Amino acid sequence: MMKQQRTLNKKIHFKGIGLHTGYSVNLALVPAPPDTGIRFRRTDLKNFEIEAIRSHVAKVSYATTLMKKGVMISTVEHLLSALYGLDIDNLYLDIDSMEVPILDGSGMSFTEEMRNAGVTEQDALRKYLKVEKPIEVRQGDKVAGVYPDSTRKVTYIIDFEHKAIGHQEIHMELNPETYQREIGKARTFGFVSDVEYLKSLGLIRGGSVDNAIVLDESGIVENNLRYPDEFVRHKLLDLLGDISRTGYPIIGHLCAERAGHAIHTALADRIARQTEHYRICTMDDIESPLANAV
């Protein structure tokens, strides 16, 4: 696990459309000083800043939206997931519209460009959220939780009636290499049967088979899977984006079953409230003999 805070070596750019708005958007990832955190800057609104933190979550229906003083940034989960997965602590996200570009529906372009740009270790210690007692949210058969563990582990389980999905599970230790290889390329997915309803809500105006896996009754429409279990990998990608808003990388076992953005966000809220179940510490704190003394 990383001891120092990290940012990018240089500025990188993306251009695309918003999944739900269909608007053209430009996005730049800009290196930031230690202890800045992850901050969006609306360049079309005099660089108005919206910190990517739990208290700014406004909506979690079909995507995650941040809002501060009436200014919004939507569909942030794929980008925030890539930053969390690659252990990037400090960055300005300069954007000229209200929605992060969907690109190919995964985090692949973000991870590839960030790895190409390179990462700088900064002169400040990285702080972790080390889980010491379980924290859990349950809603019927849906659950999300974090549990004590000495490493950074993740588990996701889904169970869909659709024959192309069915029951899928993924279990892994999380680090930048496993994230890029096993999670970052997994695309969002949706069902033809939901398209008209979503359009009636003013959503998925920019959606297509170029930026999502689309399924009808017979199977996958005009596409091929990148992984046999791409669907559960994308749900894990979303979870990491949503849980990143706790503000700290988590040392522990992060798990979810049959969950989604609403329960991911409810878990982040519960973590913020149950402060007696974890401690905020650096790797030096963890490795200190006094920290491990009985």
DSSP label of 275: G
Q: Of the candidates 114, 42, 74, 26, which has an alpha carbon nearest to the alpha carbon of residue 241? A: 74
What is the sign, positive or negative, of the torsion defined by CA atoms of 15, 16, 19, 21? positive
| 261 classed as catalytic | yes
Residue 255: both structure tokens together: 């798990």
Q: Which helix (H) or strand (E) holds 106?
A: none
CA–CA dist 286, 279 (Å, integer): 10
SS3 assignment, position 124: strand
Catalytic residue among 234, 253, 261, 264: 261
Going by the DSSP 8-state scheme, the letter that residue 101 receives in this structure is B
The answer to whether 97 touches 23, Cβ cutoff 8 Å, is yes
Vertex 59: Cα angle to 247 and 106 (nearest 5):
70
Annotated catalytic sites, by residue? Answer: 261
